[in-house]
Structure 1
Amino acid sequence: MVADNCTDATADVARQAGAEVVESVKNRHKKAGALNQALDQVLQGLAGHDLVLVQDADTTLVPSFLADAVEAMAEDVGAVGAIFFGEPGGGLLGALQRIEFQRYAREIARRDYRADVLTGTATVFRAATLRQIREARLDGLIGGGTSYYSLASLTEDDEITKAVRTLGYRTVSPPGCRVVTEVMTTVPKLWHQRMRWQRGALENLRDYGLTKVTTPYIVRQGMMGLSVVALALYLVFTVWMLARGRPEFAPFWVAVGLVFVAEKVVTARGAGWRSQLLAGTLAVELAYDMFQHAVYLRSLWDMARRREERWCAT
């Protein structure tokens, strides 16, 4: 366990429970700095083929996680990431996040379980890959400092994914590598989390530039921008139609709308029937989409103004 700048008895409690604890020393670089200090110690006694699991404290692994990760660690695979699902609770906000995570899991399955992000919830690295990342940073081939995780990124898990793939390795998230992680229970916490994710993703793309590795990520960000424009136009058109008086319902567009609702309901299936009912209302998820779009636009605006993003605990 890595204890970073703890002000309570976390480290002592962990030792009493039988855990080996690594306490960070004068770390000012948040999670990435603490992990780098711990990896410096752990990797000293490991062979290149040995595996290292990096896991968040708020995450629970399914029993088969490690076995499936080891099985998936082929010669051309540099790391195996988790497929994460939301923990119970959190009210309406928690339910919306669980639906979102469920759909993300479906996307991973459709991409033949390719990991576009080696999520910080849980990822297994080959020791040799971590050493190669550090050497690449030292040689100036990739930025982010002189250690394993980047000290220049708000989203160290997204950045290290690009580092692993830049070195020529595949990154995967097998179906058996499932984890359950916490959900944000308030809108301010969710805002800070998503701003960190979105801003970090954009800055990582800026720092890496246009490469074979980053091109799909850049396209995805572009599609996000198009969805923002499309939703805005839809809302403007709807308001305009309502302002004209009684709206007209064309059978064709009603059918299109029903297909859209059906897609929302089906893709939320893994999150439970209550989540499917929530998805079927459409209006609540529409508001959640608008929240996500606001995060995207604010991230672009802050980057354009070169406004420094502050790390906020969530």
Structure 2
Amino acid sequence: MNPHPQLIALIPSRNEADRITAAIAALHHQTRPPDRIVVVTNNCTDSDGTREAARDAGVWVLDIPACEGKKAGALNHALDQVLPGLDDADLVLVQDADTVLAREFLATAQGAMRRRVGAVGGVFYGEPGGGLLGQLQRMEYQRYAWEIGRSGGKAVVLSGTATLFRVGVLRQVKAARIAGRIGGGTSYYSLASLTEDDECTKAVKTLGYKPMSPAACTVTTEVMSSLTALWHQRLRWQRGALENLRDYGLTRVTAPYWAKQIMMGLGALALLVYLLFVILELVLIGSMTVSPFWTAIGALFVVEKTVSVRKAGWRSVVLAALLVPELLYDMFQHAVYFRSLYDAARRREERWIAT
């Protein structure tokens, strides 16, 4: 492997004038900075604000004023422009404009590109703000990071927040789509998927590569500050995950993802049944029966919830111990899950709503 590969950073951006400068600055301050940064603006309506902010930050802007396929389409167009000048061993970072990379991200990700590791995704954390809703999202992201750490850095999803790809792997993905080995069109990213990062993860794994997310590859990303924005974001994520599984079918790669979706559904149903049982018991008997066994199980559950977010600070630990706020948050997530199932079963077209 080339010990000194080129590294090109692509930042797809639409109306991100207020955030793109911070994203670019973090790339300039990497211990291993990119050799070139390209901001890919697509269908911007902010009066050149995004383009001007990117140019003021000293990077090249690739403008696609009438891009089809939203983020995936913009990335496909940009990769077609950039990849012909790169070797298979060179690297391409794909990063969201609302994301800031930790200083060691690129150096760590490049160092992890060994053997069958074809891509390295970020471990994302939520930015400050957003009130109680923002805090609950930060706790959720902290638990996701905790689970990745426990798995030895194996990536569940090559997060759209930031992922470093080996150029040769991207070329193989495109070739496999053209040959019909995997679906999703004839380019690097699928235009048919609502969650291009989740679909690309499955494509990379299907080709036999192992995606990783080392603990040091951390990024800070936006949290949704309203229930409406969060609803649309999570509905897109969940619907995209379900439809990607439907398109890929049941394979050795997708089996764990199918199992996770099934367990999510069973967990949501179990919570619903439990809450109905509690309500019926209170209505019919007037009190709840306390079981030492189930009380002990509940105590262990609370301990696990608090331990898994301890690195997110004392506010997260207190909220986890209270249990009720996260219970309501979980019920919100379950509503998203069942709505996604309903829409997917009806093949209802999902509108892309910016969040």
User: Which TM bucket (shorter chain)?
Assistant: over 0.9
Letter in 2 for 1:4: N
Counterpart selection for 1:125 from 165, 170, 174: 165
Counterpart selection for 1:47 from 82, 87, 92: 87
Q: Does 1:102 align with 2:127?
A: no
Q: The residue matched to 1:21 in structure 2 has which SS?
A: strand
| 1:15-65, Cα deviation, whole Å (9 max, x unpaired) | 122011111152121100011111111111101100000000000110000
Counterpart selection for 1:226 from 266, 271, 277: 266
Task: Give, in whole Å, the separation in 2 of the partners of 1:211 and 1:187.
Answer: 35
Task: Give, in whole Å, the separation in 2 of the partners of 1:270 and 1:22.
Answer: 39
Task: Give, in whole Å, the separation in 2 of the partners of 1:170 and 1:25.
Answer: 35
Provide the identity percentage. Answer: 63
| 1:150-206, Cα deviation, whole Å (9 max, x unpaired) | 001000000000000111100000111000000000001000000000000000000
Counterpart selection for 1:3 from 3, 19, 41: 41
Counterpart selection for 2:318 from 271, 277, 282: 277
Aligned match of 2:304: 263
Task: Give, in whole Å, the separation in 1 of the partners of 2:125 and 2:111.
Answer: 22
Q: The residue matched to 1:23 in structure 2 has which SS?
A: strand
Q: Does 1:19 align with 2:59?
A: yes
Letter in 2 for 1:284: P
Moved over 4 A (4+): none
Deviation at 1:81, TM superposition (A): 0.3
- 8 A Cα contact 1:24 1:38, kept in partner: no
TM alignment of 1:228-267, pairs within 5 A: 228-243=268-283, 244-267=285-308
Task: Give, in whole Å, the separation in 1 of the partners of 2:251 and 2:198.
Answer: 16
Question: Could you say which structure has the greater relative contact order, defined with CA pairs below 8 angstroms and 6 or more residues apart?
Answer: 1
Counterpart selection for 1:198 from 226, 234, 238: 238
Query: Which ranges in structure 1 are unaligned for 5 or more consecutive residues?
Result: none
Aligned match of 1:179: 219
Please identify, of 250-259 and 278-287, the stretch whose mean Cα deviation from structure 2 is larger: 250-259
Letter in 2 for 1:121: T
Task: Give, in whole Å, the separation in 2 of the partners of 1:37 and 1:67.
Answer: 27
Task: Give, in whole Å, the separation in 2 of the partners of 1:198 and 1:250.
Answer: 36
Aligned match of 2:113: 73
- 8 A Cα contact 1:205 1:218, kept in partner: yes
Q: Does 1:64 align with 2:104?
A: yes
| 1:49-89, Cα deviation, whole Å (9 max, x unpaired) | 00000000000110000010011001211100000000000
Length-normalised TM-score, structure 2: 0.87
| Cα RMSD, aligned residues only | 0.9
Deviation at 1:141, TM superposition (A): 1.0
Q: Does 1:295 align with 2:333?
A: no
- 8 A Cα contact 2:44 2:65, kept in partner: no
Task: Give, in whole Å, the separation in 1 of the partners of 2:180 and 2:86.
Answer: 25
Letter in 1 for 2:313: G
Deviation at 1:109, TM superposition (A): 1.1
Letter in 2 for 1:310: R
TM alignment of 1:131-210, pairs within 5 A: 131-210=171-250
Aligned match of 1:85: 125
